[in-house]
Structure 1
Amino acid sequence: MTLLGRLLRNRRAGETHLSWNLPNLQGPGLFTLASEEFGPEGPLARTHCAKHVGGEDLSPHLEWTALPPGTAQLLLVVEDVDVPMAKPAVHCVALIDPATGHLPRGALAAKRPGSGVRPLRSTVGRGYHGPGPIKGHGPHRYVFQLYALAAPVGDVPGATPVDRARPRALLAGFTAPVLGRARLTGVYER
């Protein structure tokens, strides 16, 4: 597996197709997203990594500063921008009640999400899926992006329900105005 990682070392998705750069997810204001467990560009603990690399697939603690007035719902997207594919791998998509104030460790679990958390479909499945990059591929950046939406996300009549939509189609189809956004990047390497 290390050989494969070395062979693909220069192939990375990059930030071009990151949800942060989608025109419909642009917002006028920024707020701050932080974690007690890692800092900006800091290493993610193995606890937050995929089980196949010895982790527990536990989402990290996340907290944010005061949200923009009028925030009806939060959208959280976690993407690996260094995966050797054409687009970043979506590790988590979730809708969050802004009244929660923060997410404790493990709150993004598919089977037992935290209060006010609605895990949606990601590239791998529902809920949070931790880092598990190819061994020897180098450091991978996992971008946690939080969007403050002016209206709650609901099913669109005649369209795929939000809970069943593929992540890229879902992210490209958001129409609720974004009032603000924040991001925090963690790094993991095998």
Structure 2
Amino acid sequence: MTAYLEVTLSWLFKNQKGRDAKSFYTNPAFEKHKEQTIEITSPDCGPSPAALSVEYTHDGAGKIPSLEWKAPASIAASVKEWLLVSEDPDAPLPTPIPHGIYMGIPPEKTRVDNSDFEVQDASECLVKGGFHYLPRRGKVYIPPRPLMNHGVHRYFFQIVALSEPLDKQFLKSKPSREQVAEAIKGKVLGWGLWVGSCERKWS
């Protein structure tokens, strides 16, 4: 996409941002958990909200920010699995764009680093961190690349505590965002949100 086209699209869709009300954590599975209860931060980038340096964007190395989280004791004791969802609520579309969905994160794992997201077995959508990913354009993760001159885009990294593990075959089946939201109904114990942001300007 040329810079001229990007800037034109940004002008046409300048008011098409802020789809927070359709973020993953607003799905019916979270009906009993409206508020965050899990603390999540990034050892790489700092507490939420944080500005993403170029190495965490499409224009740089495209690294995934390291994340670590802590759940209250009342939740932690019951966690059987974690789910991580990354999406852009400021993309000029009706719903947030998923940048990565990671399922089957072991309960004892409360930190992920960029190296965890290296592919171990593409046929099973398995990464070296020991969990599964939902391919996005055939990739493990789509780094942030907001439209030029569209302003700051936020990237929501949502960690979800599950009381039951998801079916192993489901993890390998490349489910959609909506199918994942349906599969976790009745299993959500709590969630947390970390926000990273960036923008691209005409230069």
Normalised-by-shorter TM-score class: 0.7 to 0.9
State the 1:161 CA deviation: 6.4
Give the alignment partner of residue 134 of structure 2, picking from 117, 120, 124.
120
TM score, norm. by length of structure 2: 0.80
**Contact conserved, 1:11 with 1:84, CA < 8 A, in 2?**
yes
Instruction: For structure 2, list consecutive stretches of 5 or more residues without a partner in the other structure.
Output: 1-5, 122-126
Out of 176-185 and 27-36, give the one that drifted further. Answer: 27-36
Q: CA 1:75/1:30 → structure 2, altered by over 3 Å: closer, same or farther?
A: same
Q: CA 1:7/1:118 → structure 2, altered by over 3 Å: closer, same or farther?
A: same
- Percent identical pairs in the alignment equals 25
Runs of 4 or more off by more than 4 Å in structure 1? Answer: 26-29
Q: CA 1:116/1:162 → structure 2, altered by over 3 Å: closer, same or farther?
A: closer
Q: Aligned equivalents of 1:151 and 1:36: distance in 2?
A: 28
**Larger CA Rg, structure 1 vs 2:** 2
Give the alignment partner of residue 10 of structure 2, picking from 5, 8, 11.
5
Out of 63-72 and 144-153, give the one that drifted further. Answer: 63-72
What does the per-residue CA deviation read over 1:104-130, in whole Å, with 9 as the maximum and x for residues that have no partner?
A: 2242344573322221234x4442211
Question: Is 1:23 aligned to residue 28 of structure 2?
Answer: yes
Matches within 5 A, 1:128-167: 128-154=141-167, 162-167=172-177
Which residue of the partner structure matches residue 81 of structure 1?
Answer: 89
The size of the alignment, in residue pairs, is 183
Q: Which structure is higher in helix share?
A: 2
What does the per-residue CA deviation read over 1:129-162, in whole Å, with 9 as the maximum and x for residues that have no partner?
A: 1101110111101000000000111157xxx765
Q: Aligned equivalents of 2:116 and 2:199: distance in 1?
A: 24
Root-mean-square deviation (Å): 2.2
Matches within 5 A, 1:31-70: 31-38=38-45, 39-50=47-58, 54-66=59-71, 68=75, 69-70=77-78
TM score, norm. by length of structure 1: 0.85
Question: Is 1:172 aligned to residue 182 of structure 2?
Answer: yes
Q: CA 1:88/1:108 → structure 2, altered by over 3 Å: closer, same or farther?
A: same
